[in-house]
Structure 1
Amino acid sequence: MTRLALILALLAGAGAVTAQDAGQAAREAARALEQAAVLLDEADSARDRVAALTRTVRAFEDGLSAMRDGLRKAAIRETELARKLATQETEVAQLLGVLSALGGQAQPTTLLHPQGPLGMARSGMLVASVTPALADRARALRADLDEVTALRQLQENAAETLQDGLASVQDARTTLSQAIADRGALPVRFTEDPVRTAILIAGTETLDAFASGLSQIAEDEAPQNLPRIQDRKGTLPLPSSGVILRRANEADAAGVKRPGIVLATGPQALVVTPTAATVRYSGPLLDYGLVTILEPQANLLIVLAGMDQTFGEAGQVLPEGSPVGLMGGTPEAVTEILSPSGERGGAGRTETLYIEVREGDRTVDPLTWFAPSQ
């Protein structure tokens, strides 16, 4: 088991530390890491290696995300317990004093009572009824103190593991880029005409116009032979791990509305094909940065914009889950991930991927195709 998988297992098992959903995410991420490692060991061909490395990178990304969330919850829980114990300091001191007195040997003076034997009997009954409650209170306080100790130990052990995990995922991304270059030729549906492509880009001012003219850049195009995905509508996985920042036709800070959704991702996050598709275009476009346009079936286009690096060429047919690009940004430092204020900026999600879906000549809400819970 990798160090990252081990710390994820510890987070998953810390029931009092993290919420149930965080523990489940950690368990799934640990399993995915182990499965990806097995696939990587068994990969024979270059294409198998690309697929295994893709799963490895995504498993690392999900694992680090689960670890970040779990550690943030752990830090918040430790702060809550520290404040709780601080406000109960006087009560704890009194409780310890009473328990110490009850635990000592009875002195002759303790058998005397101002009201005589009857008063002594009543006092004994009162003490007998209070003692179990005091013991329960002591156990609760001891459990809180033990939890604080475990939380601090977990966070101290996480720093080195996080550093290893961040280095490992970066190595996996680099290895993946090389493996893509070495995987050889992919099935090709058409050959791109660079002159027509350049003319089309120069003559369009909007993504809509460019998408409408995509057929002009293809030469000797073969018929579409990919399976239809109409029955998967509404269930496709998002191309990258992240959080939906803006939905279709929601205005941004400048008041601009776009028909697609904006997904907040982590720095250098991997972007993959949500289904088998033909690459209709890959490269810079207008003010969208690097863009990849996929065609899963006739009259259906998926536009992915905002990447820092793209893989694949126009005309290639990619299997589902194939890498098509990497987001930009600088990897987080360990101190940023361990910070309890990890929610700032979307818990480390500093990059934005724009996703647009077109059916024929019209744009549709991407969430009619993608599962919003992803």
Structure 2
Amino acid sequence: MKKAIILLSLLLTNFVYTQDPTLKLGVAGLTHGHVGWILGRETKSDINMVGIVETNQDLAKKLSKEFGFSMDIVFSSMDDMIKAVNPDAVAAFGNIKDHLNIVKACAPKGIHVMVEKPLATTYNDAIEIQQLSKKYNIHVLTNYETSWYQTNIKAHALLKQGEIGKLRKVIIRDGHKGPKKIGVSNEFLEWLTDPDLNGGGAITDFGCYGANLMTWLTNGKRPNSVTAVTQQLQAENNPKVDDDATIILTYDNEMAILQPSWNWPIGRKDMELYGTKGAIYSDNPSQLRLRLSKGYSDYTEETFLLGEREEPFNDPFSVFADVINGKLTLDPFNVYSLENNIITMEILQSAINSAKNGRTINLN
């Protein structure tokens, strides 16, 4: 009996020590409209939200009542939060310009960071973030909603399997009616339509999706050239920024057309891949169509109806925790990766410069 108790004790001790430690997560900012993803996240053992940084006390109190977190964990600065709760990682949910300052505060202390897309407001800020990440050996991930789409994963797999032949053209459309029309909060709208705090309007808010996906699809290729035009079709709602853009990327053998807009009549995040033998249509998070050419204009079509991605890829915070704990190693130039998002920011910066100056930007 005594031996059995000792054995059980050893087994339980081993079980405790083999469990992944709960990640202490800080949240930097509450003004981003997507912050509900972490505040309302179902209880899991992988992450424990230990601190929040937000200077807008009224907003913090409002969200405290809505989501049930204590105001005792709300701090007025990154330094105060870090000193008080010593987080392992921080998720950024404020304006995009703050991303660099958040990494500056976290990196020297070995605190990993995940930001909402895009990585930064400028290419120079993105490079500085990359340098800090390398110097202090921290992970910096960028979260995109399209990272959770099983249809995009299926499209990528079909492309790599050669189902549509060699890739020639990609069309990616992202956006909605516009932040004011869809009713985002005043706190979100204030910086989302500020060219300094957001880097631009629709060209950055939704242009980053296409640049990120194209960089992933091509396994880290930089385009040869970037050409962009922007318009302001809702001056009354977006007086300081563009709200419609078209970005053309050329590569040695491919072309991408990105169409980010705050003027779509319906919300959309869809992608079309055209190869030498057929086409893939990633229509939405759950439907994908594969068309294969038959002669001049005929084709076969197969429709795939897909569910959510498997764990941990159905939850960006689970991905973040698993990367930090060493359970997950992401593929090079994956959509979350810093190397992908540096190229994404180079594309966005070039697109902004192209639209501003009315000329094509040659990268190579």
Give the TM-score category using the shorter length. Answer: under 0.3
TM-score after normalising by structure 1:
0.24
The structure number with the bigger radius of gyration is 1
Larger strand proportion, structure 1 or 2? 2
TM-score after normalising by structure 2:
0.25
Larger helix proportion, structure 1 or 2? 1
